[in-house]
Amino acid sequence: MEDEEESFEDILPFILMLKSKADYKYRNGKNQKIPQVFRDFIFAGVDEIIKINTKQGFDDFCYMFEAVVGFIYGINGGK
């Protein structure tokens, strides 16, 4: 258990950085690279990871993120 917590602590700064990256890509709606709903999804996911505070919480978010991105890719015809 201790190793898992240490590895979570190692990746925590990168998890927190996801909010900054999503905000940068959204750019307050001006010349945006991602829609606001996707930015909000990232923010909510990071907040939940922090609340759970385990590597398993991060892994679970990654699986959900992968599914969402795959679904969006599929409905957009691979674009």
Q: Dig out the tokens for 63 from the structure.
A: 């699986």
For the question of whether the overall pTM of this predicted structure is more than 0.75, the answer is: yes
Residue bearing tokens 């759970």: 52
- DSSP type of residue 78: T
Task: Give the residue numbers spanning the domain of 55.
Answer: 2-75
d(CA 1, CA 21): 30
Per residue in 15-70, pLDDT tens? Answer: 999 999 999 999 877 888 888 999 999 999 999 999 999 999 999 999 999 999 88
One-letter amino acid identity for 69?
A: V
d(CA 63, CA 3): 22
How many domains are there within the chain? Answer: 1
